[in-house]
Structure 1
Amino acid sequence: MIAEPWTDGETAYGSGPGDRLRYLTDVMLATVDALWGADFDEDSRLEGWTFGHVVTQLARDADLRADELALMRTGITPVFDPDRRWDPNPGHLRPGAVIIDDVLVSLARFRSELGKIPESTWEENNEVLQIVRGRIHALENHLAALGVHSAEDARKLFAATTG
């Protein structure tokens, strides 16, 4: 497992799962900003995976969890959208701008679905809590694979790719 402790900025966000998810999502958004200048063919810290693989996998995770939330909330399985289903292999071969757009759209879908469920009810609904905790776990591990362990790391990555 790659995950390392996340401490940067957490206290400003609070201590609940929603707070942690917001913090890690903000770090992910800062990382995405940094990736505009990145080489998506560069090896990540996850053996055999490039930056493109890792970011594509983060997008798929957000889509999967958005679909789980929609199904749980409505009882209807969301319509399969082939444009939202890039596998990390060969999804990582797409141009960087397409990969970035993919993860931003996926993140927006997840946030939209999660926003339809009041945060005050998450603790009472084990299914929602599992989805939220799964997303937190995915963000922690995939950001670590990109070498990002804090918002400061995201800023350093941005400086390195634009400098």
Structure 2
Amino acid sequence: MLAGSLSPVTARQVAAARSFDTVWLDASAMAQRDAATLERHARDIANGLASGRNVLACTRPLNPLPAERGIDAQALARAGGELLARVLTLAPLQRVGIAGGDTSSHAVQAFDAWGLSYVADIGAGTSLCRVHSDDAALDGLEIMLKGGQMGSDDVFERLVHGAS
């Protein structure tokens, strides 16, 4: 699960996620596209997945807001997509979730995918899709996409336990 959104709704969803180990992402370094930081985060996430755990990678709520701290939100969203693509090369998965509209769109663009198809609703404004790709490692990957202000507080738990 990658939570790139800094919305209050996503913050509640992160707080309600009980079935996950959390990896806190360095938003400033990621937005600057620091390769060492992206690699460290990717390995931390992959190590957690390799141990059989669900992993929730997320940025900490920032106060003041990212723009007020000099963080380019679009650069951070692109870095989130790059991070997820790197994680999938280290730890192939069957299902992944992405919270944040910009993060979702950049993550999908970072994949070698030619299409998505609808699988199921996980809740209001939250869809589970299937990735279609010529890359056998990505083809068939289930991916939850949701905007930051969308979904119930338990949406991350529903991704793991409720929707198939």
Structure-1-length-normalised TM-score: 0.27
Name the structure where helix makes up a greater proportion of residues.
1
Name the structure where strand makes up a greater proportion of residues.
2
Greater RCO (CA < 8 Å, at least 6 residues apart): 1
Structure-2-length-normalised TM-score: 0.27
